[in-house]
Each structure stands twice: as structure tokens, then as C-alpha cells.
Amino acid sequence: MSFMDERQSRRYFIFILFFAAGILALCGFMGWMHGREAKRAMLERERALVSAMLEREIPPEVVAGVISEEKATEAGRDFLSKTGRTEDTNFWWLPQVQKTTVVFLLWAFAAGALLCGLLTGGTVYFLKERERLYQRAQLVVSQFAEGNFTERLWQNETGMLYRLFGAVDQLATALQAKAQSERKAREFLKDTVSDISHQLKTPVAALTMYAEIMEEEPGREETVREFSAKSLQSLERMSALIQSLLKIMRVDAGSITFEKTEVFVEELAERALGDLRTRAQAEGKTIVTEGDGRERIACDLEWTGEAVSNLIKNALDHTERGGSIRVKWERTPVMLWLSVADNGSGIAPEDIPFIFKRFYRSKNSRDVKGVGLGLPLAKAILEGQGAALSVESVQGEGSEFTISFLTNL
């Protein structure tokens, strides 16, 4: 009987048990009352018969014998039949029976009315309490339907009803999570469209201007060549911007599954460097690696290499000719640290809280190429694999970005 787990149902059931016990007690009481009234009627009838016989001077011993007689004879039945007293006689016409019946009915109606009142009152109280509970639950569920999840259904009691409330509350939690996810998705899409529109505006305007210049001076080969090169640079910038946006959107949307494998950290560093050594050489900068070649780490080699490569590109962008970039890794009992440090311009203290935001450009780096997506993309890739990315920097002295990998190797 699982309904007994619920407090209101349990109380009502106990009330019904007491009510049933009351009915049984009433039946016993009414039986006792009927016996008492029957005895009174019988004694009253016997007194009347004895009085009549004594008035007719019937000897007392004969009267006593008549009263004590319990067996009815055929002659007696015939005599009573002649006076109209048979089984077919309406009991209402018998005064003693009539009086007894009236008294018994009065007691029965009074007791029945009392029990009916108790049953009705208890049932009405139970139904009102249940209705009040349903109304409160309906109000909360209506708020769920409107997207308001500040209140919750009650689960502080046991019973099937409260288990139902718990299931509805779980559904509300799922709806709330879905609504939040949809809201974040809409905000993400809105921000992304806004970012793309803002970032493409400048190169598109430049391409339009270059095309107009070349159209106006088609005969000047030097001008056409110059602005064709600038157009290619703008197209490359647009292509890099779109590629970076697509990557960071895929990471943010959770559509990328990082496939971790055990790789050597040295291999990861070399993959990240790629052709950046050539760029560093062309720009008069040096890149050095430092770490135990036997160290290994579990990560997605392709995407983690992309993240480390972005950190190295950022270091090259903010390092002057003659500067150096160091890629170093070392292990502690629970961590593997991989850092990318440079001796470049560093980061202003007021810029550090914002450098991992998309398209953030410091006022101190307006002449530095880039669109402000490399660091956010690196952070998203690394955090998507359970790693952490932090930065320490001194303006004018350089910066150091550190990746922290938890490891059991």
C-alpha cells in the first residue's frame, strides 16, 4: 500500500479506520439499546397482564404460572388470531412495539447523523487540503510553462504524489537547462554574426577601394600590381579570419570530439612550430625548445598543436627583430607544464583580463597584425581537453603563456 507513504492519505486512511470502528461500536450500542427497550416493553406488557388478571381475582399462583410459561400452545395462537394479533399484524398498531421502535429509531438517526457528519467533515477536509496542494502545484507548473523556474515543487514528503512532483521537477530542470542552452546558442549566434560582420567590414571595404583604384587606372601597371598585392593580402586576411572563426565556433558549439592519444611532448612542439621557424628566421627572431624528449602527454595531437602554434604566432607578433621565443616543458608529480615565453613588448596589466576574449585588441598593439582570435581559440581547445591556459607578463619585458596538463603518466 504505497499510498500509506503519503502523510495526507495516511491520515485519511486512519480516519476511515476510526470511522469503521465507530460504526461497529454504534452497532453494538444500538443492539444494547434495542435489548433494553425490548425488556422495558416486555415488562410493561407483563405488568399490564398481571394487573388485569389480579383485578379479575385470579389466584396469584395461577398468575405466576401464566407469566413463567414460555411455550405457546395451539389454543393460544388461535385465541390471539381471533383478537387480530398475528405475524401479519402491523407492528405500528402494537403500542409497546411502537414505542420501542420510536425510541430505537431516534437513537439510530442521531447516531447515524453524527457518523455521517464526521465522515462528511473528514472527507471535505481531506479533499480541501488535496485541492489546495493541487492548486499550489498548478501555479508552480504554470510558472514552469512561462519559463519561470524560481519556485520548485515540494519533495519534502514521501508518497506517490510527491514522487510525481519529483518527476515533474526533474522535467522542469531539463526544460530550464534546455532553455538556457537555447538562449546561450542564440546569444552565441548573435555575437558570432556581429563579430563576423564587424571583422569583415574593413577588408571588404579595402577590397572595394582597391578594385575602384585599379578600375580607374587600368593602364598603370605599377598601380595595378601594387593594389592587386594589397587585395591578395586582404583576401588572405579574410580567409584566415573565416578559418579561425569556423574553428572557434566548432569548439564553442561542442561539435568537435577531441581524440586523445599518448604523444611525445617534443613531437607536439615540433608540430606546433611547423613553418614558424622559417618565419622567425625571416623576421630575425630565434625559437628554441627545451625539455626532456622522453616526456609524453595524452592529448589530441592535431588540435593541441593548433593551440600551441597560436601561442607561438602570438609571441612572434609581439617580439621585435632580434628577439627570442622559448618553448619549454617540464613535469611535476601531477602536472606537465608547457610554456611559450618571449622577450617582446609584454602585455599591459589592464589588458590581461581581456586577452582571451574574441577580437580583443589592445590599444598598445594596433600596429601588430592579427585579428584577436588566436588566444581565444587556443584557450577553447585546451579547456575542451581538460587543460588550463594561464599567462604572466611584464610590460616591456615579455610574456609567458603556460599550459597545465593533468597527467597520471
The class (CATH top level) of 160-252 is mainly alpha
Contact 106, 118 (CB under 8 A): no
Task: List beta partners, residue 402.
Answer: 339, 390
Residue type, position 141, single letter = V
Average pLDDT, integer, range 397-408: 88
State the pLDDT at residue 80: 66
**Residue 253 backbone dihedrals phi, psi, to 5 degrees:** -80, -10
- The set of cell numbers assigned to 141 is 507548473
State the pLDDT at residue 135: 81
State the pLDDT at residue 259: 87
Strand (E) or helix (H) holding 326: strand 324-331
The number of beta carbons lying within 10 Å of the beta carbon of residue 271 is 16
**Angle formed by the axes of helices 160-216 and 221-252, nearest 10°:** 180
Domain boundaries, the chain: 2-145, 160-252, 261-406
Between 126 and 395, the higher pLDDT residue: 395
**Residue 356 backbone dihedrals phi, psi, to 5 degrees:** -95, 10
Contact 303, 267 (CB under 8 A): no
The number of beta carbons lying within 10 Å of the beta carbon of residue 15 is 17
Q: Reduced to 3 states, what is the DSSP secondary structure of residue 344?
A: coil
Q: Is the dihedral of CA 346, 350, 352, 357 positive or negative?
A: negative
Query: Per this entry, what is the length of the chain?
Result: 409
- The pLDDT of residue 271 is above 80: yes
Contact 225, 353 (CB under 8 A): no
**DSSP for 138-198, written as a single string:** HHHHHHHHTT--SS----SS-SHHHHHHHHHHHHHHHHHHHHHHHHHHHHHHHHHHHHHHH
CA 91 – CA 89 distance, rounded (Å): 6
Q: E-strand spans in 44-130?
A: none
pLDDT digits (tens, 9 = 90+) for 35-72: 777 777 777 777 777 787 888 878 887 777 777 776 77
**Residue 330 backbone dihedrals phi, psi, to 5 degrees:** -155, 160
pTM over the 0.85 mark: no
The closest alpha carbon to 154, from 134, 127, 128, belongs to 134
Contact 406, 341 (CB under 8 A): no
CA 320 – CA 342 distance, rounded (Å): 10
pLDDT digits (tens, 9 = 90+) for 85-121: 666 666 666 666 677 777 777 877 887 788 888 888 8
CATH number 3.30.70.260 given to 261-406: no
Q: E-strand spans in 174-304?
A: 261-264, 286-290, 296-299
The closest alpha carbon to 254, from 310, 191, 184, 305, belongs to 184
Average pLDDT, integer, range 344-355: 87
Q: How confident is the model at residue 361 (pLDDT cuts 50, 70, 90)?
A: low
CA distances from 311 to 16, 33, 274, 315, 325 (A): 76, 101, 13, 6, 10
- The set of cell numbers assigned to 93 is 398498531
**Residue 296 backbone dihedrals phi, psi, to 5 degrees:** -130, 160
Q: How confident is the model at residue 364 (pLDDT cuts 50, 70, 90)?
A: low
CA 318 – CA 364 distance, rounded (Å): 10
Q: Reduced to 3 states, what is the DSSP secondary structure of residue 357?
A: coil
Q: Reduced to 3 states, what is the DSSP secondary structure of residue 56?
A: coil
CA 184 – CA 245 distance, rounded (Å): 18
State the pLDDT at residue 92: 61
Residue type, position 332, single letter = T
Contact 383, 403 (CB under 8 A): no
Contact 199, 370 (CB under 8 A): no
Between 255 and 327, the higher pLDDT residue: 327
Rounded to the nearest integer, the mean pLDDT of the chain is 79
CA 302 – CA 385 distance, rounded (Å): 12
Residue type, position 308, single letter = V
- The set of cell numbers assigned to 406 is 593533468
Q: How confident is the model at residue 316 (pLDDT cuts 50, 70, 90)?
A: very high
Residue type, position 349, single letter = P
